[in-house]
Amino acid sequence: MNPDDEAIITAIGARLRFLRTARGRTLTAVADSTGISLSTLSRLESGQRRATLDMLLPLARAYGVTLDELVAGPQTGDPRVHMRTSRHRGATVISLTEKASGIGAFKYILPAPKKPALPDLKTHDGYEWLYVLSGRLRLLLGSSELILSAGEAAEFETRVPHWMGNADKDAVEFLALFGPQGEKAHVRARPADPRKRS
Crossing angle, helix 3-22 and helix 38-46, to 10 degrees?
Answer: 120
pLDDT of the residue at 25: 87
pLDDT of the residue at 153: 94
Q: For every one of its 198 residues, what pLDDT tens digit does the chain have, with 9 covering 90 and above?
A: 666 667 777 788 888 888 888 888 899 999 999 999 999 999 988 888 888 888 888 898 888 888 777 776 555 555 565 667 777 777 888 888 765 556 788 899 999 988 877 888 988 888 889 999 999 999 999 999 999 999 999 999 888 999 999 999 999 999 998 876 544 444 433 444 555 444
Residues 59 and 141 occupy one common structural domain: no
Q: Which of 36, 71, 106 is the last residue of a domain?
A: 71
Domain span at residue 51 reads 3-71
Distance, in Å, from the CA atom of 31 to the CA atom of 171, rounded to the nearest integer, reads 34
* Nearest Cα residue to 181 out of 20, 69, 29, 49: 20
pLDDT of the residue at 182: 43
Q: Which of 44, 71, 98 is the last residue of a domain?
A: 71
Residues 101 and 30 occupy one common structural domain: no
Residues 88 and 170 occupy one common structural domain: yes
Q: Is residue 194 part of a domain?
A: no
Which residues of 11-111 form beta strands (DSSP E)? Answer: 84-88, 91-95, 104-110
Q: What pTM did the predictor assign?
A: 0.51
